[in-house]
Amino acid sequence: MKNVKVLGPGCKRCDAAVQMVKDAATKAGVEVTVEKVTDYAKIAGYGIASTPGLVVDGKVVHAGGLPKAEDVARWIRA
């Protein structure tokens, strides 16, 4: 079971990132819980300055803009 957090204030891109993670999880057959983090203080706590950011199992893997689909697939399988 993977835990993915999507960091972002909740704009269109953040929603798109959430959808990307869900799609990648379905495709890879991996069970994933997706959590949205919209609290600015928490977002800053992860050390990123640009959103959307992705945290997989507590580790920041991406910041700023939509990630590439192939990267998302790699992160949730790893």
Partner 1 sequence: MSSTTLRPASPLPWLAGTLAGLAVWVALYSQLVPFSDWAVSLLPVDPASHLGQSLAFFLYDTPKVLLLLTLVVFAMGVVRSFFSPERTRALLAGRREGVGNAMAASLGIVTPFCSCSAVPLFIGFVSAGVPLGVTFSFLIAAPMVNEVALGLLFALLGWKVALTYLVFGLGIAIAAGWVIGKLKLESWLEPWVLKIHAGTAELPEVTVTWPDRIRTGLDSVKEIVGRVWYWIIAGIAVGALIHGYAPEELLASIMGKDAWWSVPAAVLVGIPMYSNAAGIIPVVEALLGKGAALGTVLAFMMSVIALSLPEMIILRKVLSVKLIAVFVGVVATGILAVGFLFNLLFA
Interaction of residue 29 with partner 1, rule CB under 8 A: no
CB 73 within 8 A of CB 61: no
Kindly state whether residue 18 participates in binding partner 1, applying the rule CB under 8 A: no
20 is a site residue for partner 1 (CB under 8 A): no
The dihedral of CA 33, 39, 45, 48: what is its sign?
positive
Minimum gap (Å) between residue 32 Cβ and partner 1: 18
Give the SS3 label for residue 63.
Answer: strand
Q: Per residue in 14-40, is it b (16+ CB within 10 Å) or e — as a string?
A: beebbebbeebbeeeeeebebebbeee
Among 13, 22, 28, 34, binds partner 1 (CB under 8 A): 13
| Of the candidate residues 61, 69, 72, 76, the single one contacting partner 1 (CB under 8 A) | 61
Total chain residues near partner 1 (CB under 8 A): 29
Q: Which residues bind partner 1 (CB under 8 A)?
A: 7-14, 40-41, 43-51, 59-65, 70, 74, 78
